[in-house]
Amino acid sequence: MGVLDDVRKRLNDVPLWKELGTIPDRTKALEEKVLELEIKLSGKWPADVCKFCGERGMRLYHSFPGLDSKGTAREDWRCEKCNREDYRYFKPATR
């Protein structure tokens, strides 16, 4: 066992080896954080996430006053990252 002890002692002097030992704790913390965020989102995307590129660059740039014949309002959103546009319709009572 003397050889293995010598190898372990030398590995402990390597900074990368020390960092590898912290990975399980960091991974557990990250998994908990992801779970917390998923619970907060409840399967919904934030309004500013672009459906096309996935970046958080969607910005409301025009909202039409009044309702259409179906009783819905329209908002035009544009992504600052990819410049794609998204038109969103909603019933005002549901917001």
Give yes or no for a contact between 90 and 67, defined as CB atoms under 8 angstroms apart: no
Task: Report CA dihedral (45, 47, 53, 54) to the nearest 10 degrees.
Answer: -40
Output the six-digit token pair for 19.
């960092």
pTM for this entry: 0.53
In the chain, domain spans: 2-41, 58-94
CA pseudo-torsion sign 78, 44, 46, 90: positive
pLDDT digits (tens, 9 = 90+) for 19-65: 777 888 888 999 999 988 888 778 777 888 898 998 999 999 998 88
